Amino acid sequence: MAEFSFEEKTILVQYAIKKFENEEIVLEKLKNILPEKDIQRNIDTLIGTQRVRRIGPENLQNNESHTELPELPENLKSIIENL
Q: Write the pLDDT tens digit of every residue in 12-56.
A: 999 999 999 999 999 999 999 999 999 999 999 999 999 999 998
Q: How many domains does the chain have?
A: 1
pTM of the entire predicted model: 0.90
- Residue, of 24 and 67, whose pLDDT is higher: 24
Euclidean distance between the first and the last CA atom of the chain, given in angstroms as a whole number: 15
- Scored b (16 or more CB within 10 A) or e, 12-33 reads bbbbbbbebbebebbbebbeeb
Q: Residue 1 pLDDT more than 70?
A: no
Can you give the residue range of the structural domain that contains 55?
A: 6-81
1 belongs to a structural domain: no
17 belongs to a structural domain: yes
Q: How far apart are CA 47 and CA 3, in angstroms?
A: 23
44 belongs to a structural domain: yes
* Confidence (pLDDT) at 5: 95
Q: How far apart are CA 70 and CA 14, in angstroms?
A: 9
54 belongs to a structural domain: yes
12 HSE (CA, 13 A, CB side): 29
Residue 66 pLDDT level (bands cut at 50, 70, 90): confident
46 belongs to a structural domain: yes
